[in-house]
Amino acid sequence: MNNVYYGKLIFELSKPGRIGYSLPTSDIQGYCIDNLPECVTRKNQLDLPEADELTVARHYTNMSNNNFGVDTGFYPLGSCTMKYNPKVNEEMAALPGFNIHPSTPNAMAQGALELYDELQKILSEIAGLSRFTLNPYAGAHGELTGLMVIRKYHMQRGDVTRTKIIVPDSAHGTNPASAAVCGLQIVQVKSTTDGTVDIEDLKPLLGPDIAGMMMTNPNTLGIFERKIPEIARLVHECGGLMYYDGANLNPMLGVCRPGDMGFDVMHINLHKTFSTPHGGGGPGSGPVGVRTGLEQYLPNPQVVRNVDGTYSTTNDDQSLGRVSGWLGNFGIIIRAYAYLLSLGRENINMAGKLSVLNANYIKECLRSHYKLPIDGLCKHEFVFDGLKDEYAGDRHSPDHVTTLDVAKRLLDYGFHAPTIYFPLLFHEAMMIEPTETESKDTLDEFIAVMKQIAEEAKANPELLKTAPHSTPIRRLDDVKAVKEPRFIY
Cα-based angle 117, 120, 123 (whole degrees, multiple of 5):
155
Rounded CA separation 139/276 (Å): 13
Give the bridge partners for 266, in sequence order.
Answer: 244, 289
- Interface with other proteins (CB under 8 A), residue total 204
Closest to other proteins by CB, 60 vs 318, is 60
Shortest distance, CB of residue 206 to other proteins, whole angstroms? 20
99 binds other proteins (CB under 8 A): yes
42 binds other proteins (CB under 8 A): yes
Closest to other proteins by CB, 14 vs 458, is 14
Q: Which of 4, 11, 452, 460 binds other proteins (CB under 8 A)?
A: 11
Rounded CA separation 114/109 (Å): 9
Rounded CA separation 225/195 (Å): 9
Rounded CA separation 412/474 (Å): 10
Q: Which of 168, 176, 246, 386 binds other proteins (CB under 8 A)?
A: 176
Closest to other proteins by CB, 45 vs 459, is 45
226 binds other proteins (CB under 8 A): yes
159 binds other proteins (CB under 8 A): no
Q: Which of 288, 327, 392, 401 binds other proteins (CB under 8 A)?
A: 327
Q: Which residues within the stretch 232-261 sit at the binding site for other proteins (CB under 8 A)?
A: 254-257, 260-261
| Three-class SS state of 22 | coil
Shortest distance, CB of residue 117 to other proteins, whole angstroms? 11
Stretch in the footprint of other proteins (CB under 8 A) among 201-209, 342-350, 366-374, 454-462: 342-350
Closest to other proteins by CB, 107 vs 389, is 107
DSSP-derived letter for residue 203 is G
Q: Which of 347, 368, 397, 452 binds other proteins (CB under 8 A)?
A: 347
The answer to whether 380 and 218 have CB atoms below 8 angstroms apart is yes
Beta strand 429-432 with 382-385 is antiparallel
402 binds other proteins (CB under 8 A): no
Shortest distance, CB of residue 153 to other proteins, whole angstroms? 13
Comparing C-alpha atoms, which of 376, 374, 400, 375 is closest to residue 387?
400
* Integer-rounded Cα radius of gyration of the chain: 25
Residue 139's φ and ψ, nearest 5 degrees, are -60, -50
Beta strand 311-314 with 302-305 is antiparallel
Closest to other proteins by CB, 364 vs 389, is 364
Shortest distance, CB of residue 28 to other proteins, whole angstroms? 5
Closest to other proteins by CB, 176 vs 240, is 176
Q: Which residues within the stretch 469-488 sit at the binding site for other proteins (CB under 8 A)?
A: 471-478, 480-482, 484-488
459 binds other proteins (CB under 8 A): no
Residues in CB range of 11: below 8 A, 6 or more apart: 49, 489
Rounded CA separation 309/151 (Å): 33
Q: Which of 416, 433, 446, 454 binds other proteins (CB under 8 A)?
A: 416
448 binds other proteins (CB under 8 A): no
Closest to other proteins by CB, 100 vs 199, is 100
Stretch in the footprint of other proteins (CB under 8 A) among 44-52, 238-246, 389-397, 455-463: 44-52
Given its phi and psi angles, is residue 254 left (phi above 0), alpha (psi -120 to 50 degrees) or beta?
Answer: left
x-or-dash string of contact with other proteins, 110-139, rule CB under 8 A: xxx-xx------x--xx-x--------xxx
Rounded CA separation 61/72 (Å): 15
Q: Which of 168, 239, 277, 434 binds other proteins (CB under 8 A)?
A: 277
322 binds other proteins (CB under 8 A): yes
The answer to whether 218 and 253 have CB atoms below 8 angstroms apart is no
The DSSP annotation for 290-309 comes to: E-TT-GGGSPBSEEEE-TTS
The answer to whether 313 and 105 have CB atoms below 8 angstroms apart is no
x-or-dash string of contact with other proteins, 193-222, rule CB under 8 A: ------------------------------
